Structure 1
């Protein structure tokens, strides 16, 4: 059964992959293929809030967390960006500084795309521009939904929703018919759900005792998605 049939995942999920699919082979080669690739280790910062951008980024493999940190360096994770996606295009379009930071959630291979190349393709490909605008609209709706829902939810409901979203994010790296493995630290999971790390640890033990998940180190496997959705108490 598709997750869409039992949980409104589209309210929580967007992707820039469809934007790149709109490019011709020539434009894709110009924007992506000719750029140099750089490896990032887990935890390594890719860009920092407050810096003026000189380009954007394309993830060849790995996952990146998009976050804001407070004065005590406590992170609120806004979103997880997957392989095959673009990131860092907002401040270029707005001609502003980065309003958030990003770092590697796991080992990544990433290309830097100069601002000039991005704007060239944006100007010569109407379909690319149209799809990017659609993604921006979807992204705004996802963030608005997260702010609205998470502000009204209990810790257990927030964690359940976070795990459902992460299951979809990590599915892209999973062979069909294999169990999806969510590889994430408890601190990062707390940053996504917006709850304390000690609460994450306690609630994961509860989920485990209920047969909803299994854990091996930092790896989480969701065994009963229906029960997890019930624990999210989400209607939307």
Structure 2
């Protein structure tokens, strides 16, 4: 089922895919020549908050969580990045360190692009700068929207929003209308929802009784996304 017209999913999705999509085939080939591919196991750290930013990362396969840690080292997931997205590009123009951390949510194949190579590409591919700035600007609006949700919505409503966003990330295609399976730990889902793991387990049990979701091990299966949309009470 498409969310078009019933839920503003774009307010939760970054636009970093547009950065690479702005390049021609020849420009991509030139940039890819400087890429170094690496395989990351589920849970493996890609970069850490406050570490020097030596480059950016292009997700070729898999999913990555971007998160920050509080003083007690509790994770707070701020975004789940998908295949085709770039991560770690915030400090590219400012020269600052990484503002957050990133780790693989599942086994992933990710290419590293050295900072100098990407900055050079911005010179010989003018569209790259335009789309990078656009993506950065839109990302701030997505993060601001996510923060406002924590203040305005109940835990049940926030969980519904998190499941809707994850459903978009785990769909096999844009037109996928079947039940969608989300393979994520209850701990990560709680971090994304800004609540406790106990709350997530309890609420998922309620949603299973209502026939909205199902489960197979830690995999959550979304049966009725329209019911989730109604749960969000999103205006």
Structure 1 CA distance for aligned equivalents of residues 134 and 166 of structure 2: 23
Q: What CA deviation, in whole Å up to 9, does each residue of 1:105-150 have, x standing for no partner?
A: 0001111111111001112222121112111111111101111122
2:34–2:114 contact (8 Å) kept in structure 1? no
Structure 1 CA distance for aligned equivalents of residues 101 and 88 of structure 2: 9
**How many pairs does the alignment contain?**
235
1:4–1:10 contact (8 Å) kept in structure 2? no
Structure 2 CA distance for aligned equivalents of residues 174 and 216 of structure 1: 24
Moved more, 132-141 or 170-179: 170-179
2:2–2:175 contact (8 Å) kept in structure 1? no
Q: Report the counterpart of residue 125 of structure 2 in structure 1.
A: 125
1:32–1:58 contact (8 Å) kept in structure 2? no
Moved more, 181-190 or 70-79: 70-79
Residue 4 of structure 2 aligns to a residue whose secondary structure is helix
Moved more, 168-177 or 6-15: 168-177
Residue 4 of structure 1 aligns to a residue whose secondary structure is coil
Task: Report the Cα offset of residue 179 of structure 1.
Answer: 2.4
1:174–1:180 contact (8 Å) kept in structure 2? no
Structure 2 CA distance for aligned equivalents of residues 88 and 76 of structure 1: 17
Moved more, 107-116 or 6-15: 6-15
1:69 aligns with 2:89: no
Structure 2 CA distance for aligned equivalents of residues 172 and 87 of structure 1: 21
Structure 2 unaligned blocks of 5 or more? none
TM-score when scaled to structure 2?
A: 0.95
1:130–1:17 Cα change, 3 Å:
same
Structure 2 CA distance for aligned equivalents of residues 174 and 201 of structure 1: 29
Q: Report the counterpart of residue 179 of structure 1 in structure 2.
A: 179
Pairing 1:125-164 to 2, within 5 Å after superposition: 125-164=125-164
Residue 7 of structure 1 aligns to a residue whose secondary structure is coil
Runs of 4+ in 1 over 6 A off after TM superposition: none
Q: What CA deviation, in whole Å up to 9, does each residue of 1:85-113 have, x standing for no partner?
A: 11111112121011110000000111111
Q: Considering only aligned residues, what root-mean-square deviation do their CA atoms show, in Å?
A: 1.5
Q: Report the counterpart of residue 233 of structure 1 in structure 2.
A: 233
Q: Report the counterpart of residue 110 of structure 1 in structure 2.
A: 110
Residue 117 of structure 1 aligns to a residue whose secondary structure is helix
Task: Report the Cα offset of residue 21 of structure 1.
Answer: 1.2
TM-score when scaled to structure 1?
A: 0.95
1:223 aligns with 2:227: no
Structure 1 unaligned blocks of 5 or more? none
